[in-house]
A and B are shown apart, each in its own frame.
Chain A
């Protein structure tokens, strides 16, 4: 764990000083959307990180902006790291795709595109994955309201 933190400080925070590291359940990197791709490239390829397993991507609606949370794991060192992007513009949500680094991101990004409407630049096949192609809106957004297919339950 200590070596992971020092590697992050030395190889990521040093190069991109705007990136912040904080300690949640797992070490969490707060990355600006514009730095996502180079940071991910380092995390994937650098032998000290070697994060070759992308566990999940969670798309989140933060109301003022949209975000993606990536959970990375290394099959060699078994260390876990969270990369959080929280500054995706709500009105023009675009972020770089990581599909070429981890093929598993293909489906996960399509799911987020479907349910939150974030467009992933460089994704080979960005289509809705669950909902119908003609579906209007993105259900996981907090301001989504659908009178016909009511999925919100009032308590």
Chain B
């Protein structure tokens, strides 16, 4: 090792300016192309030896100006843009805009629409958590989880494809209802999936949850208190892992969530393992919700008749939904035209990311991977 820095695999790691080499203070860039950031995102990590002193996130690599684009689009068009934010919660994002528009126009959709939306929301949540579980295991060096998770997620994507026509992004919701009615096989295949997935979820636990290496990598790593979660606005499973009861499905129920009984999964520990367990248990809860609804989808219209050009009355509208990652709020300011005056998406990842510096200080560099994995970041969602 020379006094100036370490040359390794073409990677130039230099000591922090002004520090002595024996202090081993380094600044390294994790990303923008790094497998564990799950997207194009850069963390500037300041290290002392292997210990993290601070993490500065640099985002915007996939900023597409969605909020600006919305200002020149009509409301049905905006629905399709929201797919491209959190692509793993695409259906739920679509629903947020549709619910906001319906609320503004005073349109009550049929119970059939509410039930179908809720079932698809929960299928989306399971699919998202499956992908997260796959990738989280992989981040920590357990490659097998990726194959298991992707295998089972495929079943949900097939259900989506059959009914909505889309696998990853659906755009099935439209203001006033759904694009078309469900496929005749939908109920049968969804029930089949739940029968199939319940034992598989146990397999997930056998494979990863009890693993000693996995536990050593996650228990007590990246502890976030309840107060910190609230102050940083870290919602979703991230906040519930710290014991903050922040589930929008309970707080401000929408669609059919007020007609089903389910538990809001809460853990008090606030470490990476708690966040992991919340998501694992949420998959079970999601299956319970689907089971309550799938048998008795009422008859009714799958879409209400809407005007050809949708204009919202002048005013401001908020709609909260619970995506797989936390609270998404759509804030529409309308001046009465067919285009919104301003649309703001409060994306859950954007707030969840801001806590990473706080909870990774004093941890090891390898723990940073576990922490960012346990926050379940989707970069296009926070960059918008």
Contact = CB atoms under 8 A, between A and B. Distances in A.
A4 interface: no
Interface in B342-375: 342, 344, 346, 350-351, 353-354, 358
A5 interface: no
Contacts of A128: 60
Which of B63, B72, B344, B350 has the most chain A CB atoms closer than 10 A to its own CB?
B344
Interface string A111-155: 100010000000000001111100000011000000000011111
B13 interface: no
Interface string B192-233: 000000000000000000000000000000000000001111
A56 B231 contact: no
Interface stretch (B19-27, B85-93, B134-142, B314-322): B314-322
A131 B60 contact: yes
A153 B69 contact: yes
A108 B354 CA distance: 10
Contacts of B327: 55
Contacts of B324: none
Which of B67, B69, B318, B333 has the most chain A CB atoms closer than 10 A to its own CB?
B318
A151 B344 contact: no
Interface residues of B, number: 38
A153 B72 contact: yes
B331 interface: yes
B68 A140 contact: yes
Nearest to A84: B316
Interface stretch (A6-14, A34-42, A89-97, A99-107): A99-107
B68 A75 contact: no
Interface in A61-106: 61, 69, 71, 75, 78, 80, 82, 102-104, 106
Contacts of B383: 130
Chain B interface, >50% SS class: mixed
A130 B59 contact: yes
Contacts of A140: 67-68, 342
A104 B231 contact: yes
A58 B342 contact: yes
A56 B346 contact: yes
Interface residues of A, number: 38
B65 interface: yes
B297 to A, nearest CB: 30
Interface string B298-322: 0000000000000000011110000
Contacts of B131: none
A16 interface: no
A54 interface: yes
Chain A interface, >50% SS class: loop
A124 to B, nearest CB: 12
A26 B231 CA distance: 21
Contact of A153 (B73, B233, B354): B73
Contacts of B353: 107
B316 A107 contact: no
Contact of A71 (B72, B73, B331, B354): B331
Contact of A103 (B67, B68, B354, B384): B354
Contacts of A25: 103, 316-318
A115 to B, nearest CB: 8
B74 to A, nearest CB: 8
B329 interface: yes
A82 B333 CA distance: 13
Given A60-B342, A78-B251, A153-B72, A71 B318 contact: yes
A24 interface: yes
B75 interface: no
A149 to B, nearest CB: 8
B318 A75 contact: no
A54 B230 CA distance: 8
B318 A104 contact: no
Contact of B233 (A69, A102, A131): A102
Contact of A54 (B65, B72, B233): B233
The 9 tightest CB contacts between A and B, nearest first, are A130-B60, A104-B233, A56-B346, A130-B63, A58-B344, A107-B354, A153-B72, A151-B65, A104-B232
11 contacts: A55-B327, A56-B329, A71-B331, A71-B346, A78-B251, A103-B358, A107-B351, A130-B60, A130-B384, A140-B67, A140-B342
Interface of A: 24-26, 28, 52-56, 58, 60-61, 69, 71, 75, 78, 80, 82, 102-104, 106-108, 111, 115, 128-132, 139-140, 151-155
Interface of B: 59-60, 63, 65, 67-69, 72-74, 103, 230-233, 244-246, 251, 315-318, 327, 329, 331, 333, 341-342, 344, 346, 350-351, 353-354, 358, 383-384
Given A103-B231, A151-B65, A153-B69, 4 more contacts: A55-B233, A75-B246, A130-B60, A153-B73
